């Protein structure tokens, strides 16, 4: 999921606590029928390794090995051993489509997609503190056979050469195997087997990766012909391979390049350049790009807009930063990209990355464009979800632990320890500037010409590959097809795309998950309230859109359509405004992902060996740890989840239910897990229409709960003997031992009553019962806090008093006066760093640390022994000087603390000044824009242009500065003049409606933040009542004073 050019966001590769992988045995090792030099080694993981919805779903894991120089003429002097994980569809796998999933990076493992996004299973923590798997509710295996590929070489479980090494989890660096350095906790220094981590032994451009992917698929489809969508059952003939390729993040560059290379190879098969009888045609049915970086020249411009003027109302940067970012884009980023493409197009047109001049130009452009995100990164918000502050807990990294356990590695045939991201691969791509070389827009245009369905899917909370830039890229693709189709029978892509509107994505009968613009075989979807990894944040919506893409139906409703002439209808812009952000989730510090999941404070404690590690998670305080639930059931390799006898096979009728419990993310609370049980897998007809009425399980987006098929824990009483109240509570989702409330935050046990003796007043007995204290302590621990009541405080206070008395007694015989403590010069300097000690004062300090008393005579620490009688004048002077020094040190500390406070105040004041400057600049621009409306004889065209510009630039300030008044004042004379010529009886539809529709926000016709505030419980009643009693708006006055009389007079004279 990481985007390569952001070097500060590179995820450190992580190693296994299981250390070196166990010996591997493959059930099948064979030569590729396409190329005998290519080997295919695979096995079937034991049941429970990845728990699927149905036990009959077959899975295969293994490696396809390409020896050196397979990619000629590319100078590939290294081996490529690509790991794959294949899962059958839940129903009819022999006729189901095949979908290939690739994560981005470059260098990110596709196991992220499998276990955190859309794979058939997900990793959960079991009662014994280990990890297992459960079937995923909205896994994409509901609609398709799915193949996950770790590519290029060295990514995830793929490798070039097996290499033993030590990994420093804190720094993310590799060394030859060695013990942990002194002072390092053992769990951050790990030994294991990896790839070489040499950037010279992997692909360094997407074009080279495409060649390797083509050879991989040639071998896979020849070894597994039963999953070739072009192979018909009971037939030896193989037709065109219809494959769906879905890629995420950097996959916006991978996907189009891979697909275009496949098409080129198909053409070479037809013209005889490569042998036709020993190769397969790999022709895509559809290409899906999820929050993809397609063309940085187009998309990087929107970093400024997304940070300042997004649909969540989050202003991560100031308007000044926004304008400066746009200026930096124009003057530095865009010009550097154009220079890169010019040089690379001349001397490295094939994108092989072996021309240093081209590499240098493109690498410089990469860094120039990378700097555009610096202002946003300063906000502390997460680049993958702008609603969340760093470090983000999403998605959970439990699969990192699971894939590095010995039993799992043996089950899947892994030959290296699993890492989710590889820095060597990222460095290789950065060194060639691969991300800025471009060409993907033209590749997508060529795919559309060839009839491939191309769909872009973007979560609207993502920043790094945001939906605004994705939408702009979709228009660039349409512009590249201004002459296609050229038969004159239908609109070109350019005109058709511009005329298509945004339709709601109807996920089920109660939820709209986004908006889609669709024209022919091209579509762009904005998914509401989803971050970078859309299937993780909005699993049901992502699955729904995916299924409609591969089925070739209307992405809005799932209805069958004719793509040759289909155009979506709706508003021209995706204007949905997202709801207020949810409460910030608490981060989880995974030791295998220190860089992205642990705070600086946690890292400091970790290196000091404070805290504890449990199940791969670091806790700085043992009280933060909560034992796993005893009701969680999941599968492990060789130990599958117990299934009901009525569970269906993948080719069954779909009439029975399955008992696999899946979980999905709650819309407003990403850390909240909502358990759901699917009643049956979706059939193709159901997927096409998607008119669910609850039979597929609850919709996580609509926040409805679902009754589970099986209880998650044993009932407190035998079945049928529950009381009426217990039955009522169980029906509402309550479980024995769980706290009351939606999230179990309420009390567990009934309130215990403690009576006072008759006539006794408050305080005569301890009012707080043991049950009350235990309940309060449980609530505090659930929040990661420490509970203290008054009795605890009293006990600690008594303990402190006793310790003080004990120390005082130790200072003299029989509890006399306290023993005097003396400080050396070193002690004084350590107590007050930076304090300059007067030399005269040093000369009279007594050094009483030895057996005899000495006077310090120099700052160099030279001592002159002097025998001093007890209680002499020298002793008195020394005591007085000591007291003065102590007071001096205290005063110094006070000044230092005051300095910190003053500096903080200065920083706050500077921030307020900067904000005031920004506000003044904004008001200056606003005044200029409003004054620009005051033009004599202004016409509708001029007025619309200026008002739309004002509306776009100051959308969030319309109500604050009463811009509606200026807008209404501008259109009033035009409106009045036009109304004089309008006869409602002859032309019932008013021709200015279209103009006014585009001005709805600035005319005050849309709900704004202030309007929504009337329902905000935080607003004082008096203030809320004032808002409800607000007078008519300027636009309402205009309609009431001009339009309504016109209509009334028309009705009066109407016969």
What strands lie across the sheet with 39-43, from one edge to the other? 28-31, 39-43, 59-66, 80-87, 145-150, 98-102, 241-248, 282-290, 453-459, 522-527, 511-519, 502-508
The pLDDT value recorded for residue 1 is 42
What's the pLDDT tens digit per position in 624-657?
Answer: 888 887 778 899 999 998 765 333 333 333 333 2
CA dihedral (350, 356, 361, 367) positive or negative: positive
Residues 413 and 314 in one domain: yes
Lowest mean pLDDT among 383-392, 738-747, 797-806: 738-747
Long-range contacts from 712-720, C-beta under 8 angstroms, 24+ separation: 712/629, 712/631, 712/632, 712/661, 712/675, 713/630, 713/631, 713/737
Closest CA to 552 of 536, 539, 564: 564
What's the pLDDT tens digit per position in 121-142?
Answer: 999 999 889 999 999 999 999 9
Report if residue 314 sits inside a domain.
yes
Residue 55 pLDDT > 80, yes or no?
A: yes
Q: Are 175 and 165 in contact (CB under 8 A)?
A: yes
The pLDDT value recorded for residue 237 is 55
Beta carbons within 8 Å of 1016's beta carbon, 6+ residues apart? 1024
Cis peptide before 18 (omega within 30 of 0): no
pLDDT band of residue 1034 (cuts 50, 70, 90) is confident
What's the pLDDT tens digit per position in 857-899?
Answer: 444 443 444 444 555 666 677 777 777 777 777 777 778 777 8
What's the pLDDT tens digit per position in 510-549?
Answer: 999 999 999 999 999 999 999 999 999 999 999 999 999 9
Lowest mean pLDDT among 45-59, 259-273, 319-333, 579-593: 579-593
Last residue of a domain, one of 551, 578, 608: 551
Distance (Å, whole) CA 703 – CA 843:
76
The pLDDT value recorded for residue 958 is 82
Report if residue 431 sits inside a domain.
yes
Q: Are 59 and 85 in contact (CB under 8 A)?
A: yes
- Please name the residue that has the structure tokens 């309609």: 1039
* Mean pLDDT to the nearest integer, 222-231: 85
Instruction: Return the CA Rg of the chain.
Output: 35
Neighbours of 378 (CB within 10 A): 11
Opening angle at CA 153, ends 147 and 154, nearest 5: 105
The pLDDT value recorded for residue 757 is 63
The DSSP element (H or E) to which 619 belongs, if any, is strand 617-619
Residues 940 and 831 in one domain: no
Closest CA to 108 of 249, 272, 273, 286: 249
Report if residue 997 sits inside a domain.
yes
Q: Provide the residue count of the chain.
A: 1055
Distance (Å, whole) CA 489 – CA 906:
68
The pLDDT value recorded for residue 659 is 30
The pLDDT value recorded for residue 593 is 92
Residues 330 and 475 in one domain: yes
Q: Are 145 and 98 in contact (CB under 8 A)?
A: yes
The pLDDT value recorded for residue 595 is 87
Query: What does the DSSP assignment read for 272-317?
Result: TSS-STTS--EEEEEEEEES----HHHHTTHHHHHHHS-TT----S
Query: What does the DSSP assignment read for 698-725?
Result: --TTTT-----SS-SS--SS-TT---HH
- Looking only at the bridges linking them, the beta strands covering 121-125 and 173-175 are unpaired
Residues 440 and 532 in one domain: yes
Residues 961 and 867 in one domain: no
CA atoms within 13 Å, Cβ hemisphere of 991: 11
3-state secondary structure string across 167-208? EECCCCEEECCCCCCCCCCHHHEEEEEECCCCHHHCCCCHHH
pLDDT band of residue 488 (cuts 50, 70, 90) is very low
Report if residue 215 sits inside a domain.
yes
pLDDT band of residue 916 (cuts 50, 70, 90) is confident
Distance (Å, whole) CA 675 – CA 665:
9
The pLDDT value recorded for residue 816 is 45
Lowest mean pLDDT among 465-474, 588-597, 907-916: 907-916
Q: Tell me the C-alpha to C-alpha distance, in Å, between residue 959 and each of 432, 542, 1003, 1034.
A: 49, 36, 10, 12
Range of the domain at 723: 714-752+768-789
Active-site residue list = 249, 462, 532
Distance (Å, whole) CA 287 – CA 444:
9
Burial 644-674 (b: 16+ CB within 10 A, else e): eeebbebebeeeebbbbbbbbbbbeebeeeb
Beta carbons within 8 Å of 205's beta carbon, 6+ residues apart? 351, 352, 353, 429, 432, 434, 437
Distance (Å, whole) CA 913 – CA 919:
10
Residues 900 and 946 in one domain: no
* Mean pLDDT to the nearest integer, 725-747: 69
The pLDDT value recorded for residue 698 is 34
The pLDDT value recorded for residue 604 is 86
Q: How many percent of the chain have pLDDT more than 90? A: 47
Last residue of a domain, one of 870, 905, 940: 905
Residues 897 and 936 in one domain: no
What's the pLDDT tens digit per position in 450-468?
Answer: 999 999 999 999 999 999 9
Residue 265 pLDDT > 60, yes or no?
A: yes
The pLDDT value recorded for residue 258 is 97
Report if residue 537 sits inside a domain.
yes
The pLDDT value recorded for residue 815 is 44
Report if residue 916 sits inside a domain.
no
Residues 883 and 747 in one domain: no
The DSSP element (H or E) to which 527 belongs, if any, is strand 522-527
Distance (Å, whole) CA 110 – CA 140:
14
pLDDT band of residue 8 (cuts 50, 70, 90) is very low
Distance (Å, whole) CA 831 – CA 828:
5
Residues 233 and 157 in one domain: yes
Report if residue 580 sits inside a domain.
no
Most confident of 231-240, 517-526, 692-701: 517-526
- Beta-bridged to residue 651, according to DSSP, are none
DSSP letter (8 states) at residue 333: I
Q: Are 811 and 821 in contact (CB under 8 A)?
A: no
Residues 279 and 374 in one domain: yes
Most confident of 103-107, 735-739, 809-813, 835-839: 103-107
Residue 234 pLDDT > 90, yes or no?
A: no
Burial of 138 (0-12, 13-18, 19+ CB in 10 A): buried
Closest CA to 996 of 930, 948, 1040, 1046: 948
| Predicted model pTM | 0.64
The total domain count for the chain is 4
Last residue of a domain, one of 551, 583, 614: 551
Q: Tell me the C-alpha to C-alpha distance, in Å, between residue 988 and each of 991, 993, 996, 1035.
A: 9, 11, 16, 21
pLDDT band of residue 490 (cuts 50, 70, 90) is low
Neighbours of 1047 (CB within 10 A): 14
The DSSP element (H or E) to which 322 belongs, if any, is helix 319-328
Choice between 215 and 978, residue whose per-residue pLDDT is larger: 215
Report if residue 13 sits inside a domain.
yes
The pLDDT value recorded for residue 4 is 35
* Mean pLDDT to the nearest integer, 916-930: 83
Mean residue pLDDT of the chain comes to 80
Distance (Å, whole) CA 806 – CA 38:
80
The pLDDT value recorded for residue 654 is 33
Lowest mean pLDDT among 493-507, 521-535, 657-671, 911-925: 657-671
Beta carbons within 8 Å of 340's beta carbon, 6+ residues apart? 358, 361, 362, 364, 365, 433, 436, 437
**The domain spanning residue 539 has which CATH number?**
3.40.50.1820
Neighbours of 703 (CB within 10 A): 14
What's the pLDDT tens digit per position in 145-199?
Answer: 999 999 999 999 999 999 999 998 888 889 999 888 887 888 888 899 999 999 9
- Looking only at the bridges linking them, the beta strands covering 612-614 and 662-665 are unpaired
What's the pLDDT tens digit per position in 277-297?
Answer: 889 999 899 999 999 999 999
Residue 22 pLDDT > 80, yes or no?
A: yes
Residues 831 and 936 in one domain: no
The pLDDT value recorded for residue 445 is 96
Residues 891 and 942 in one domain: no
Residue 1023 pLDDT > 80, yes or no?
A: no
Q: Are 427 and 353 in contact (CB under 8 A)?
A: no
């Amino acid at each position: 999921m990481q985007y390569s050019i952001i070097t500060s966001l590179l995820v450190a590769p992580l190693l296994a606590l299981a250390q070196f992988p166990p010996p591997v045995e493959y059930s099948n090792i064979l030569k590729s029928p396409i190329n005998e030099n290519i080997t295919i080694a695979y096995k079937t993981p034991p049941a429970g390794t990845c728990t699927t919805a149905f036990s009959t779903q077959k899975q295969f894991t293994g490696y396809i090995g390409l020896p050196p120089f397979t990619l000629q003429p590319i100078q590939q002097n290294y081996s490529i051993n690509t790991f794959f994980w294949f899962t059958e569809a839940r129903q009819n796998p022999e006729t189901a489509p095949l979908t290939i999933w690739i994560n981005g990076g470059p260098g990110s493992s596709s196991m992220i997609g499998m276990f955190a996004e859309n794979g058939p299973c997900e990793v959960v923590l079991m009662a014994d503190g280990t990890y297992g798997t459960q079937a995923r509710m909205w896994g994409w295996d509901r609609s398709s056979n799915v193949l996950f590929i770790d590519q290029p070489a060295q990514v995830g479980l793929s490798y070039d050469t097996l290499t033993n090494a030590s990994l420093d989890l804190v720094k993310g660096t590799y060394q030859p195997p060695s013990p942990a350095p002194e002072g390092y906790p053992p769990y951050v220094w790990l030994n294991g087997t990896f790839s070489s981590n040499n950037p010279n032994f992997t692909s360094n451009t997407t074009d080279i990766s495409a060649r390797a992917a083509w050879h991989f698929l040639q071998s896979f489809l020849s070894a597994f012909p039963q999953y070739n969508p072009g192979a018909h059952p009971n037939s030896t003939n193989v037709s065109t391979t219809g494959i769906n390729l879905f890629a995420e993040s950097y996959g916006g560059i991978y996907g189009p390049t891979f697909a275009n290379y496949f098409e080129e190879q198909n053409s070479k098969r037809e013209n005889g350049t490569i042998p036709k009888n020993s190769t397969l045609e790999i022709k895509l049915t559809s290409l899906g790009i999820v929050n993809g970086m397609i063309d940085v020249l187009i998309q990087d411009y929107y970093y400024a807009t997304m940070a300042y003027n997004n649909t969540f109302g989050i202003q991560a940067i100031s308007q000044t930063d926004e304008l400066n970012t746009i200026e930096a884009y124009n003057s530095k980023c865009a010009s550097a990209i154009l220079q890169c493409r010019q040089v690379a197009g001349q001397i490295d047109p094939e994108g092989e990355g072996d021309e240093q001049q081209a590499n240098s130009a493109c690498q410089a452009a990469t860094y120039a464009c990378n700097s555009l995100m610096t202002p946003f990164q300063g906000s502390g918000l997460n680049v993958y979800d702008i609603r969340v502050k760093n470090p983000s807990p999403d998605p959970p990294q439990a699969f990192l632990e699971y894939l590095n356990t010995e039993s799992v590695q043996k089950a899947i045939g892994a030959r290296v320890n699993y890492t989710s991201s590889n820095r060597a691969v990222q460095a290789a791509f950065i060194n060639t500037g691969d991300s800025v070389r471009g060409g993907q827009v033209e590749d997508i245009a060529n795919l559309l010409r060839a009839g491939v369905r191309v769909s872009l899917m973007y979560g609207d909370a993502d920043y790094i590959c945001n939906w605004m830039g994705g939408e702009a890229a979709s228009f660039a693709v349409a512009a590249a097809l201004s002459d296609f189709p050229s038969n004159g029978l239908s609109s070109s892509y350019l005109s058709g795309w511009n005329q298509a509107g945004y339709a709601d994505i109807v996920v089920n009968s109660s939820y709209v998950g986004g908006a889609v613009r669709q024209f022919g075989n091209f579509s762009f979807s904005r998914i509401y309230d989803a971050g970078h990894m859309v299937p993780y944040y909005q699993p049901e919506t992502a699955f729904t859109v995916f299924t409609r893409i591969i089925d070739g139906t209307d992405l809005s409703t799932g209805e069958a359509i004719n793509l040759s002439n289909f155009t979506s209808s709706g508003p021209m812009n995706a204007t949905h405004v997202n709801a207020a952000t949810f409460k910030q989730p608490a981060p989880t510090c995974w030791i295998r992902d220190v860089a992205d999941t642990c705070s600086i404070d946690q890292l400091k404690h970790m290196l000091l060996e404070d805290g504890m590690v449990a199940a791969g998670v670091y806790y700085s305080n043992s009280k933060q740890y909560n034992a796993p639930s005893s009701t969680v059931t999941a599968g492990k390799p060789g130990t599958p989840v117990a299934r009901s006898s009525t569970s269906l096979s993948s080719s069954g009728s779909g009439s029975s239910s399955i008992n696999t419990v899946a979980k999905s993310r709650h819309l407003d609370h990403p850390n909240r897990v909502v358990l759901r049980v699917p009643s049956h897998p979706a059939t193709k007809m159901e997927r096409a229409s998607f008119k669910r009425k609850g039979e597929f399980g609850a919709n996580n987006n609509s926040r409805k709960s679902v009754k589970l098929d099986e209880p998650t824990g044993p009932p407190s009483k035998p079945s049928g003997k529950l009381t009426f109240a217990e039955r009522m509570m169980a029906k509402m989702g309550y479980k024995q031992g769980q706290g009351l409330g939606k999230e179990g935050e309420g009390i567990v046990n009934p309130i215990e009553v403690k009576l006072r003796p008759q006539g006794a007043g408050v305080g005569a007995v301890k009012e707080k019962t043991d049950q009350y204290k235990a309940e309060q302590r449980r609530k505090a621990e659930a929040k990661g806090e420490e509970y203290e009541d008054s009795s605890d405080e009293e006990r600690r206070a008594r303990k402190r008093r006793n310790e003080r008395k004990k120390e005082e007694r130790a200072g003299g015989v029989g509890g006399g006066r306290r023993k005097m403590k003396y400080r050396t010069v070193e002690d004084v300097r350590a107590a007050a760093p930076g304090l300059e000690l007067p030399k005269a004062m040093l000369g009279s300090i007594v050094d009483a640390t030895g057996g005899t008393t000495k006077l310090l005579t120099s700052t160099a620490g030279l001592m002159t022994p002097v025998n001093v009688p007890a209680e002499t004048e020298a002793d008195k002077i020394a005591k007085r000087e000591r007291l003065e020094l102590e007071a001096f040190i205290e005063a110094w500390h006070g000044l230092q603390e005051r300095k910190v406070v003053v500096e903080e105040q200065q920083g706050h004041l500077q921030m307020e000044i900067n904000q005031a400057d920004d506000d003044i600049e904004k008001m200056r621009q606003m005044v200029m824009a409003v004054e620009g409306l005051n033009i004599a004889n202004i016409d509708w065209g001029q007025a619309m242009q200026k008002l739309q510009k004002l509306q776009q630039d100051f959308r969030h300030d319309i109500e604050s500065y009463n811009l509606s008044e200026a807008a209404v004042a501008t259109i009033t004379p035009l409106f009045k003049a036009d109304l004089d010529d309008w006869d409602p009886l002859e032309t019932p539809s008013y021709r200015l409606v279209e103009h006014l529709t585009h001005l709805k926000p600035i005319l005050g016709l849309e709900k704004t933040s202030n309007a929504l505030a009337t329902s905000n419980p935080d607003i004082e009643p008096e203030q809320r009542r004032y808002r409800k009693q607000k007078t008519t708006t300027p636009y309402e006055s205009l309609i009431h004073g001009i339009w309504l009389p016109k209509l009334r007079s028309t009705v009066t004279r109407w016969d």
